[in-house]
Amino acid sequence: MDLRQNLEAVKQKIKNACEGAKREPSEVTLIAVSKTKPAEMIEEFYALGVRDFGENKVQELVDKYERLPKDIRWHLIGHLQTNKVKYVVDKAYMIHSVDSLRLAREISKEAVKKGVCVKILIEVNVAGEESKFGVKPSETEKLIRQIAALPGISICGLMTVAPYVADGEENSTIFCSLRELSIDINAKNIDNVSMGILSMGMSGDYETAIRWGAVYVRVGTALFGERDYGI
Ligand SMILES: *Cc1c(COP(=O)(O)O)cnc(C)c1O
pLDDT at 3 over 60: yes
> Is residue 119 lining ligand 1, measured as CB closer than 6 Å?
no
Q: What is the pLDDT of residue 228?
A: 84
We report the CATH number of the domain holding residue 126 as 3.20.20.10
230 domain residue, yes or no: no
Q: Which whole number is the average pLDDT over 135-151?
A: 98
Task: Tell me the C-alpha distance between 31 and 25, whole Å.
Answer: 14
Q: Which whole number is the average pLDDT over 150-157?
A: 98
13 domain residue, yes or no: yes
> How many domains does the chain divide into?
1
pLDDT at 230 over 70: no
Instruction: Report the alpha-carbon angle 18-22-23, nearest 5.
Output: 55
Q: Which of 222, 77, 95, 88 is nearest to 161 (CA)?
A: 77
Give the pLDDT band (50/70/90) at residue 231: low
> How remote is the CA of residue 64 from the centroid of ligand 1, in Å?
18
Residues in the chain, overall count: 231
Please say whether the beta carbons of 111 and 154 come within 8 A.
no
> How remote is the CA of residue 166 from the centroid of ligand 1, in Å?
15
User: What's the start-to-end Cα distance of the chain, in Å?
Assistant: 23
> Is residue 161 lining ligand 1, measured as CB closer than 6 Å?
yes
Which residues span the domain enclosing 204? 3-224
Task: Give the three-state DSSP class for 42.
Answer: helix
Name 124's bridge partners. 135
> Which of 6, 7, 33, 122 gets mutated to test ligand 1 (max ligand atoms within 8 A of its CB)?
33
145 exposed, middle or buried (CB, 10 Å; 0-12, 13-18, 19+)? middle
Which ligand 1 atom is at minimum distance from the Cα of 222? 9
> Is residue 220 lining ligand 1, measured as CB closer than 6 Å?
yes
Task: Tell me the C-alpha distance between 166 and 163, whole Å.
Answer: 10
229 domain residue, yes or no: no
Please say whether the beta carbons of 45 and 32 come within 8 A.
yes
Please say whether the beta carbons of 164 and 132 come within 8 A.
no
> How remote is the CA of residue 111 from the centroid of ligand 1, in Å?
26
231 domain residue, yes or no: no
pLDDT at 130 over 90: no
Q: What is the mean pLDDT of the chain?
A: 97
135 domain residue, yes or no: yes
pLDDT in tens, 27-72: 999 999 999 999 999 999 999 999 999 999 999 999 999 999 999 9
Residues 6+ apart with CB under 8 A from 42: 32, 34, 53, 64, 68, 72
pLDDT at 204 over 60: yes
